[in-house]
Amino acid sequence: MGMNKNTVLAWATFIMIFVGLSLIALGAFRYYEVAGYGFAAVGIGFLAVAWVFNALKGRV
């Protein structure tokens, strides 16, 4: 069973959502100083890119 382009984008979206939520959780619960804001900002960026990947499914 091969993976087509929509399956690859679905997996990439899932992985990026997981990493984004993990970074936001690190920024919220682990790092209480200025570094926490950076972790949360990068996590939000990961979620934005995952949203774009999800929107591309079926169009690429």
This prediction's pTM: 0.83
Between residues 2 and 17, the one the model is more confident about:
17
Domain count within the chain: 1
* Better pLDDT: 59 or 30: 30
Q: Tell me what pLDDT residue 58 has.
A: 76
The H or E element that residue 34 is part of is: helix 34-56
Q: Which domain holds residue 40?
A: 5-56
Say if residue 4's pLDDT is above 90. no
Report the 3 state secondary structure along 3-18: CCHHHHHHHHHHHHHH
pLDDT digits (tens, 9 = 90+) for 20-51: 999 999 998 988 888 889 999 999 999 999 99
